[in-house]
Amino acid sequence: MLASRKEMALATRSLWNIPNILTVSRVALIPVLLVVAYSPLPWRHEIAAVIFAVAAITDWFDGYLARTLNQGSAFGRFLDPVADKLMVAAALILLVEWHSHVLMVIPAIVIISREITISALREWMAEIGKRAQVAVSSIGKWKTAAQMVSITVLLLDWEIFNALGWVLLYVAVVLTLWSMCVYLLAAWPSLREVD
């Protein structure tokens, strides 16, 4: 009994380490972002942009800390990509409402659809023991960076920066499609196999 309590305490301690707390905080920021976005606050765009930027920074920081402090965990490996996708999807849906025209709708659909497709592909490849073939690529990292900066700028909604936000959003769309093609081509031999 005593050994199992020690094991449980150790498991709980390793679960709630700094990287995992940062990842969970990213999910917790989603309702905060939405409350701010729909509030009558005069600075709601600026506050929403700061909230999203903080979430984007924690995305980089939690992975860095997990590697540096050797605090990687199964929970973190599961939740980190989920938290990223949830935050990006929430922000894109918000931007579609704020800018309700096809120029925003198409990028939102492309980005969200790609995330669903690649998540499903990675899950399936892991199931057949070939997850390494669809590991995160440098194109995927550039896509994420362009996405995070563009969404932050578009949430900010300052006229002086809006053109930059739109350009980066479409750069992110191109990188999104490119990285999806790279992952699908890497998985194609496995996808063509007959059961």
Name the percent of the chain lying above pLDDT 70.
89
Region of residue 101 (phi > 0: left; psi between -120 and 50: alpha; otherwise: beta): beta
Q: Sign (positive/negative) of CA torsion 24, 25, 26, 27?
A: positive
Q: What is the pTM of this model?
A: 0.86
Confidence of residue 194 (pLDDT cuts 50, 70, 90): low
In angstroms, the CA 177 to CA 179 distance is 6
Q: Residue 9: what pLDDT?
A: 47
- Report the share of the chain in percent with pLDDT over 90: 53
How many CA within 13 A on the CB side of residue 154?
A: 27
At 139, the pLDDT band (50, 70, 90 cuts) reads: confident
Cα torsion through 173, 176, 178, 180, rounded to 10: -140
Q: List all residues 6 or more positions away from 18 whose beta carbon is below 8 Å from its beta carbon.
A: 62, 65, 69, 71
Distances (CA, A) of 93 to 33, 34, 104, 127, 155: 12, 10, 9, 31, 11
pLDDT, the chain, mean: 87
Give per-residue pLDDT as tens, 74-111. 788 888 889 999 999 999 999 999 998 999 999 999 99
Residues 5-32: pLDDT tens digits?
555 444 455 678 888 888 899 999 999 9
Q: How far apart are CA 59 and CA 170, in angstroms?
A: 22
Mean pLDDT value across residues 179-187: 87
Q: Could you tell me the pLDDT band of residue 3, with boundaries at 50, 70 and 90?
A: low
Residue 173's pLDDT is what?
97
Q: Which two tokens stand for residue 168?
A: 């980066």
Q: What is the pLDDT of residues 51-68, one digit of tens each?
A: 999 999 998 888 788 888
Average pLDDT on 169-193 reads 89
pLDDT score of 124: 82
